[in-house]
Amino acid sequence: MDRHDDIQLKALERLSHDDLNSYIEHVKSSPWRQKFHVQSVFGALAAPAAAFYDDEQEIYHLFYTWLPLLGGDEQYWYHVTSDDFADFNNAGVKMKPDALFDSEGLSAGSVLQINGTNHIFYMGRSRARGRYRYKLLAADMDGDDKLNKHTVPLIEGFEDLYKQSKDSAMVRIRDKYYLLIGAESKDGRGRLAVYGADELSTFEHLGDLQTDFDEFGWLWEYPDHFTVDGRDVLVFCPQGIDRYGDLFRNNFQAGYLTGLLDFENAGMTHGKFREFDHGFDFYAPQTFTDKAQRQVIIGTLGMPTTSYPEEKFHVRHCLSLPRVLTFTDDKLNQTPHPALENLRYNEMTALGYFKHYNKRMRDFYGDAYELIVEFKEYEASEIYLHLRVGKRDETRLIYNTEAQLFTLDTSFSGEQPEGVEDFDRSVRLEEPLYKLQIFMDISSLEIFINDGAAVMSARIFPEKDAVGVEFSTQTGQCFVNLTRYDLKPLKNKEIIYQH
């Protein structure tokens, strides 16, 4: 056991200054440390926990659940801030599992502004008589950005009704409060528990949310809710769904229903469940509104049961880039948040044809960039984009023009994660391919297809020499307009506690 393995066995508060510095330096030595994605200083970034824009401060506050010790279950809330929702700054641990009702960890939650104060709601976990106990807890944020925990739980006794109780989402509709809790029923089915209250101190259990799904996985977690144009959008992550063609191919899913949600009667009429991302590693999303009242979603790039190569450096996962949600018919489109344009510099463009033989775009090489590919015309049967090409590595994007099938293939993307059954994901496009907007970071890839009609994300772990960009076709030719930007890195100061 090396020194860093030994550190894992200690609680965060018992680590010495030297231990913390050693841990931080070990993480910084990782060849896969990201440049423009939010990551933890060390340990596991579990999920976005809550986010909001403060009008008085003119600043975004984003929290994520953080496990400082890989393999541990002491879950904290870590705080990052941003002026524009692109360039984030670390602000340190904001809540610790140090109270009677959250001593075993704090889960993801939500924020509501009530009478000018930002109130945080989250599920706390404690242990009593050998059993985990779950309670809905609250805190409020003062002018110094300090979170002050309330001492009395808002709701308790979840373990008497459900086998598991997970994350929460608080919703205010007119003058009433409603709460959604991700849960597993006593008979092993995924459910969302619904609670209602006129005042925050008087919640009533309204039952399980009634949907068209009797059996749809064994656990639902990370619930969220918002409305667009009079339609309700219910977000949740079901575990245990069977694979169906190109759908539901990951161990865990993140998706949504659209329709009409009746909180008071705990029921929803809705369409089909749609996945947010057709790639490998998007999970546990949170939504909120930005200062322009756009609906924004952020998730974790990383799956709970997948083991990633970066973990040998005692770090795990990162946040996705923020995506703006808009409706097209009954389907959500996702586009990169406009603030990400603030990270751009060093623009390069190219216009031309490529054919069967590999076209090496040497001026476009790199390991962290934004690449926009506009397809002007093509006669090709299949189109190939090879990114992060090295001596042994390449990440392949494949488009079959006849089937309108877009495939992300990470079979040769470097060192492979463990716990993934196969290394390709596909999505069938509703329109022929006309545009790709690709965000490549050191160890991640986010692809926005046809202005966000489909999105695919993946963590990849190639060698350092894997910087090549190549284009080709199976037969025929393709005419494209290319635009590439370098992207400014985040500061990512190594802050544990902000003093």
Q: Which residues in 235-262 are b (16+ Cβ under 10 Å) and which e?
A: bbbbbbbeeeeebbbbbbbbbbbbeebe
Verify that 308 and 374 share a domain, yes or no: no
Token couple for 92: 């340190």
Question: Residue 8 has what pLDDT?
Answer: 45
| pLDDT values of the chain reduced to their tens digit, one per residue, 499 residues | 344 554 444 567 777 888 888 889 999 999 999 999 999 999 999 999 999 999 889 999 999 999 988 877 789 999 999 999 999 999 999 999 888 888 888 999 999 988 888 999 998 888 876 667 888 889 998 777 788 899 889 998 888 899 988 899 999 998 899 999 999 999 999 999 999 999 988 899 999 999 999 889 999 999 999 998 889 999 999 999 988 888 999 989 999 999 999 999 999 999 999 999 999 999 999 999 999 999 999 999 999 999 999 999 999 999 999 999 999 888 999 999 999 999 999 999 999 999 988 899 999 999 999 999 999 999 999 999 999 999 999 999 999 999 999 999 999 999 999 999 899 999 999 999 999 999 999 999 999 999 999 999 999 999 999 999 999 999 999 999 999 999 999 988 888 887 5
pTM over 0.85: yes
On whether residue 497 sits in a domain, the answer given is: no
Q: Are the C-beta atoms of residues 40 and 24 closer than 8 Å to each other? A: no
d(C-alpha 412, C-alpha 398), whole Å:
14
pLDDT of 143 reads 72
* Residue 496, in any domain of the structure: no
What local confidence, expressed as pLDDT, does residue 129 receive? 67
The confidence score (pLDDT) of residue 7 equals 46
CATH code for the domain of 436: 2.60.120.560
Domain boundary among 330, 356, 374: 330
Question: By residue range, what is the domain housing residue 465?
Answer: 340-487
Q: Point out the domain boundary residue: 330, 353, 368.
A: 330
Which residues pair with residue 48 across a beta bridge? Answer: 64
Please indicate, yes or no, whether residues 321 and 354 belong to a single structural domain of this protein. Answer: no
Instruction: With respect to residue 231, please indicate whether it lies within any of the assigned structural domains.
Output: yes
- Residue 385 and residue 471 in contact, taking contact as beta carbons nearer than 8 Å: yes
Among 330, 364, 386, the domain boundary falls at 330
Strand partners, 426: 407
Q: Which CATH number does the domain housing residue 268 bear?
A: 2.115.10.20
Do 273 and 176 sit in the same domain of this protein?
Answer: yes
Beta bridge partners of 384: 398, 472
Name the H helices within 139-264.
158-161
Question: Are residues 251 and 383 both part of a single domain?
Answer: no
Rounded to an integer, what distance in angstroms lies between the CA atom of residue 419 and that of residue 308? 9
Report the alpha-carbon distance of residue 215 to residue 188 in Å, rounded.
9
Domain contains 97: yes
Q: Which residues contact 17 (CB under 8 A, 6 or more apart)?
A: none
- Residues 73, 37 within the same domain: yes
For residues 321 and 400, state if they share a domain. Answer: no
Number of domains in the chain: 2
Return d(Cα 260, Cα 233) in angstroms, integer. 8
Domain shared by 208 and 304, yes or no: yes
Is there a single domain that holds both residue 21 and residue 46? yes
Q: Which residues, at least 6 apart from 204, have a Cβ–Cβ distance to it below 8 Å?
A: 195, 196, 197
Residue 302 and residue 399 in one domain: no
Instruction: Please report whether residue 495 resides in a domain.
Output: no
- Position 111 in a domain: yes
| Residues 350 and 428 reside in one and the same domain | yes
Q: How many CB atoms sit inside 10 A of residue 146's CB?
A: 12
What pLDDT is attached to residue 130?
62
| DSSP codes joined into one string, 210-227 | B-S-SSS-SEEEEEEEEE
Residue 291 lies in a domain: yes
Q: Are residues 312 and 358 located together in one domain of the fold? A: no
- Are residues 416 and 362 located together in one domain of the fold? yes
Flag whether 494 is in a domain: no
